Amino acid sequence: MLTDKNLLRKMREQVLKLYSAEVQLAFEKEQDESKKKAFLNQRQYYDNYLHELEKHNLESLLARMKPLEIELSRAITSLDNALKRVNNTVNIISNIQMISSIIARIITIV
């Protein structure tokens, strides 16, 4: 399991991976325009939410994240697995949505 100290670092790595050529090319091959649009939107939400988290006082934020640490860690691991398989665009989108949802709950706590 990821520790709270590593969650933000891992999330930053995932955002970078979501903007990588490999993932971008996979979504450019996607035939369903709604999936392409959903991916772009969710990727942007994840990036924006991460920026919001990074702007807050990290020490107090990490303390407030503690109740959601396990849930966020599982969601991050799930997205990692989906990104390794790049072939399932719906899975990537749903995993980004799951992480964004958790982050949105954290931000409302702050």
DSSP string, 28-83: HH---HHHHHHHHHHHHHHHHHHHHHHHS-HHHHHHHHGGGHHHHHHHHHHHHHHH
pLDDT of residue 90: 87
pLDDT in tens, 55-80: 765 667 677 778 888 999 999 999 99
- Whole-model pTM: value is 0.63
Q: Residue 6: what pLDDT?
A: 79
Tell me the per-residue pLDDT of 3-53, one tens digit each, with 9 for 90 and over. Answer: 555 788 899 999 999 999 999 999 999 899 999 999 999 999 999 988 887
